[in-house]
Amino acid sequence: MATTQHKWNFTAGDLTEEGTSKTIQAGGMKIHYHDVGQGEPCVFLHTYGPGTTAWITWYKILPEFIKNGYRCILMDLPNFAKTGPVVYEEPVHNFQAKTALALMDALGIQKANIIGNSQGGQSSMSFAYHYPDRIKKLVWGAGHIGTGGDRYLMGNKPSEGSRATRDMTENPNRETTRRYLRAHIDNQDLVTDELVDYILHYHTHSKELEAARKKSVSVPYDHLKDILKITAPTLLVWGRYDRMCVFEIGINALNHTHNARMVLLNNCGHWVPFEKPREYTAHVINFLKGDWATP
């Protein structure tokens, strides 16, 4: 696998992507992750899309989480960034949840808060109902709960975000990458040349990962029947202008999750922790520290 020599300026105080980079063999693959801070463990699963990474999704929230006494473990999902390559044939969110569990086992973590956004959110949800004894609290958003694309009253099929993602995947270049990011991020000022180059690089930097993604099969799976099984206290966080997964999905998830509450952030798209890190962090830490969320 090729290694990058790029020096990106996506830093969290003194923390850098390169300086916090770790790998471990677990779950039948090489898992790449970042492990910073001390205290109660939180496992973070990142946003979906070509070129996305655990670091770009979560780096902005790290200083406040560390200051509040949390150990933050940011895992690159299988066949993203530097995790893998691995070929699978099963529901992708179940596979990603199983990979997160393997990482926890390898690190000797018995129980953690599981926090995810987008595809990482769906995988966090899957983790919660598959492994209820290994999760303390669940935070997720910007994902789906059913199969078949955007089957919701207020959502197009395919969504604008899905179409932009498909175009970038089929023809990756700076123009399609910029359009893809503009569909996912409401604040267009955040779609910088540096971000475009970063995302394009991580989508195209490894032929091995690209081949594994093409060979892998995500078996269709509907989470709706299983979301009813979630017992962990749950916080749903959504962007009002999410053009990938409309916020109606969050309302539907709220209605089907026994111990849940929802936060809807205005002027925000699909990349919630990236676009609104201060608000996101304030709501999530308040939820994690509050005993009012315990049944």
Q: Is residue 161 part of a domain?
A: no
pLDDT at residue 147, rounded to an integer: 56
Q: What is the residue type of 128?
A: A
Contact criterion met (CB below 8 Å) for 56 and 274: yes
**Cis? peptide before 158, omega within 30° of 0:** yes
Separation between Cα atoms, residue 144 and residue 34, nearest integer Å? 26
Q: Is residue 175 part of a domain?
A: no
Q: Is residue 174 part of a domain?
A: no
Task: For residue 198, give the nearest of 274, 277, 267, 265 by alpha carbon.
Answer: 274
Q: Is residue 192 part of a domain?
A: no
Separation between Cα atoms, residue 244 and residue 197, nearest integer Å? 21
Q: Is residue 186 part of a domain?
A: no
Q: How far is CA 166 from CA 107, 147, 161, 177, 275, in A?
A: 35, 17, 9, 10, 22
pLDDT at residue 2, rounded to an integer: 40
pLDDT at residue 279, rounded to an integer: 98
Pairing outcome for strands 70-75 and 112-116: unpaired
pTM: 0.95
Number of Cβ atoms within 10 Å of the Cβ of 215? 13
Q: Is residue 203 part of a domain?
A: no
pLDDT at residue 153, rounded to an integer: 66
Contact criterion met (CB below 8 Å) for 34 and 74: yes
Q: Is residue 200 part of a domain?
A: no
Per-residue model confidence as pLDDT tens for the chain (295 residues): 344 457 789 999 999 999 999 999 999 999 999 999 999 999 999 999 999 999 999 999 999 999 999 999 999 999 999 999 999 999 999 999 999 999 999 999 999 999 999 999 999 999 999 999 999 999 999 998 875 554 566 777 778 899 999 999 999 999 999 999 999 999 999 999 999 999 999 999 999 999 999 999 999 888 888 999 999 999 999 999 999 999 999 998 999 999 999 999 999 999 999 999 999 999 999 999 998 655 5
Q: What's the number of domains the chain is made of?
A: 1
| Domain coverage including residue 32 | 21-154+209-293
> What CATH number corresponds to the domain at position 68?
3.40.50.1820
Q: Is residue 159 part of a domain?
A: no
Contact criterion met (CB below 8 Å) for 237 and 249: no
